[in-house]
Amino acid sequence: MAARSISMTLLMLTGVPWATGWTLLGLWLLGFAGAHTELAGFTLEMSPVIRVFAGVTALAAGQLVFLCFMADRVYPRASRWLVWPIELGLSLAMFLGLAVLGLAAIGVPL
C-alpha cells in the first residue's frame, strides 16, 4: 500500500505541472498572445488562425493529460460512459489541431 501511495504522489507531482503548463499555454495563446509578441528576447509572429489552432490544441492537450494521468487514477471507478467520450473528444481536438499546425508548418495557406 505504501508503494501505491508513493506512486500516486509522484504521479501528482509530475502530472499537475504538466497539465497546468499545457492549459496555461493554450489559454495564453487564445486570450493574450497577439499577432506580434516579444517573449524572452524572441519575437513571435503568427496569424490569428494559427494562434487559435495552437491555443485549442494546447488546451486540449492539457485537459487530456489531466484526465488520463490524474483523474483516471484518482477516481478509477468513474463512469466510463462519461469519461471515454470526453477523452476521445479531447484526443480528436488535439490531433486535428496538430494536423492543421503541421499543414501550416509545411506552407499550406490557411
Instruction: Tell me the pLDDT tens digit for each residue of 83-105.
Output: 999 999 999 999 999 999 999 99
Residue 80 and residue 100: Cα distance in Å, rounded? 30
**CB within 8 A of 60, min separation 6: which ones?**
26, 90, 91, 93, 94, 97
Residues of the chain under the 50 pLDDT cut: none
- Its pTM stands at 0.83
Residue 9 and residue 81: Cα distance in Å, rounded? 27
**CB within 8 A of 51, min separation 6: which ones?**
29, 30, 33, 35
